Structure 1
Amino acid sequence: MIQALMLSFQSLSDRRVAIVMVKVVVLTIITLMVSGIGLWFALQVLFGWLNVHDTGFWSGLLSAAIVGLSGILLFRVVAIAMTWVFADDIIEAVEDRHYPRHAAFGKRPSLGAGIQMAVKSIARVVGYNLLALPVYMLLLFTGVGTAIAFLLINALLLGKDLEDMLVARHGAKGAMNKLSRVLLGLFGTAGMMVPLVNLFVPVLATAMAVHLVHSEHSA
């Protein structure tokens, strides 16, 4: 895992990966800005529907919880959606540099297949987190319980997403072992919760997935 992380940082020096990084960051920021405005208006509508108009402790806590969870989840959805768009460019660049033998057998999925997998990924993230929302709210009063639950659930989902990107290109040979998938998901999800760092994590995590998969199958 450490070696894969170090190699993924090296990949940023590759011009092709750097260009993709810029595209992902710019598109993510633009999408988040537009989505953030929509979230603010949606929150006002929700408060009106719940008849929450005071500025007391409970309404403040509810606002902070909703904005915090929605913001993190929104970033997670947007970042992975953007990464799916450019996943094959990242994978190709890393494989050409480090794993030319594997690159020769890789098959880029069609645009339609990529869009379909991205939609499934977004549906999984939104669906599972909505199902877990009551748990998040109950654990809110523990201080750290909500963050831990969110981290674990989304680590599993992100690990699956990153594996799917390689499977779509290499079939069964793109799969990674369960421990690597979970650890990669934890790294990516935790990184996405850190401001500024989160902008670069999706590309780094995708590069890490490439190194993990090919190192496992080469061992």
Structure 2
Amino acid sequence: MGAVIASLAKAFGQLGDPAILRVAAKSIGITALIFVLAGVGLYFGLDGLFAWLEWEADGFVRAAAAIVIAVIAFWFLFRVVALAVLQFFADEIVIAVEKAHYPDLAERAVALPFRRDLANSLRGLGRALAFNLLALPVAAILIFTAFGPAIVFLLVNAVLLGRELTDMAWLRHSGNPPGQNPVLGSERLMLGGAIAALMLVPFANLVAPILGAAAGTHLTHDAMHRKGRIDA
């Protein structure tokens, strides 16, 4: 637990780093653009659906329906989309953290080619969608409880985020093919849970993936050091 808290504290302290801010601006901008375009597409899609079904609905009804569906989709898919977008800039965050805190080790890291970054992003996106869809029936059963569905999705995303956020740094040092991620499962779960919970908070959810990627880098280096994967 101490390693996770220390990693989050170090990551929070580096949020003002220009390199981190650049990644935050790009990832937030692209994520927002994706949802805006999806919202526009949803509006015109509903318009076409209403016309096909011969339902009479004015522009306000179509817009209201689009907004309601978009809000639900945003709540459900934000973590998935934001993390997939962040995967493309993961190297920049890891490099910024390593240059500031682990300058000697930064020189040993191997930059991932675009093809591998894309593959990692698509695999992560697939895992996130699959696990969240599998969790839907369980959440549906608990829909009448006060916090059941939220707890189910929080646990699922804690597991997913813990892996993705530590893999971002680990893959740069693990060789090819990569070895097993040295971060303890309990530590990954705690980190993923903290970031998943932060993603439920308005506005904080915009920087939560960045904070998680930086903290995941610290946690990975700490784990590698403890297991003798790197020199002191």
The normalised TM-score by structure 2 is 0.79
For residues 123-176 of structure 1, the C-alpha deviation after alignment (integer angstroms, 9 at most, x for no partner) is 111111112211111211112100000000111011111122123211148531
Q: 1:175 aligns with which of 157, 182, 185?
A: 182
Q: Is the 8 A contact 2:182 2:224 kept in 1?
A: no
User: Cα offset for 1:7?
Assistant: 0.7
**1:21 alignment partner in structure 2:** 24
**2:120 alignment partner in structure 1:** 117
Aligned-residue Cα RMSD (Å) equals: 2.7
User: Cα offset for 1:115?
Assistant: 0.4
- Structure 1 residues 26 and 64: alpha-carbon distance in aligned structure 2, compared to 1, 3 A threshold: closer
Unpaired runs of at least 5, structure 2: 52-65, 227-232
Query: For 1:1-219, what aligned pairs fall within 5 Å after superposition?
Result: 1-39=4-42, 70-171=73-174, 172=179, 175-219=182-226
Amino acid at match of 1:127: A
SS in 2 for 1:140: coil
Unpaired runs of at least 5, structure 1: 49-62
Amino acid at match of 2:157: N
Q: Which structure: larger Rg?
A: 2
Amino acid at match of 2:200: M
Q: Which has the higher helix share?
A: 1
How many angstroms apart in 2 are the aligned matches of 1:162 and 1:110?
18
How many angstroms apart in 2 are the aligned matches of 1:86 and 1:212?
19
SS in 2 for 1:170: coil
Q: Is the 8 A contact 1:160 1:181 kept in 2?
A: yes
For residues 175-217 of structure 1, the C-alpha deviation after alignment (integer angstroms, 9 at most, x for no partner) is 3111110011101111111111100001100000011111232
How many angstroms apart in 2 are the aligned matches of 1:6 and 1:29?
27
Q: Is the 8 A contact 1:163 1:175 kept in 2?
A: no
Amino acid at match of 1:217: M
How many angstroms apart in 1 are the aligned matches of 2:140 and 2:205?
24
Q: Is the 8 A contact 1:192 1:201 kept in 2?
A: yes
- Structure 1 residues 8 and 46: alpha-carbon distance in aligned structure 2, compared to 1, 3 A threshold: farther
Q: How many correspondences in the alignment? A: 207
SS in 1 for 2:107: helix
SS in 1 for 2:173: helix
Q: Is the 8 A contact 1:166 1:174 kept in 2?
A: no
Amino acid at match of 2:17: D
SS in 2 for 1:153: helix
User: Cα offset for 1:121?
Assistant: 0.7
* Percent of aligned pairs with the same amino acid: 37
Amino acid at match of 2:35: L
User: Cα offset for 1:39?
Assistant: 4.9
- Structure 1 residues 25 and 162: alpha-carbon distance in aligned structure 2, compared to 1, 3 A threshold: same
How many angstroms apart in 2 are the aligned matches of 1:75 and 1:118?
15
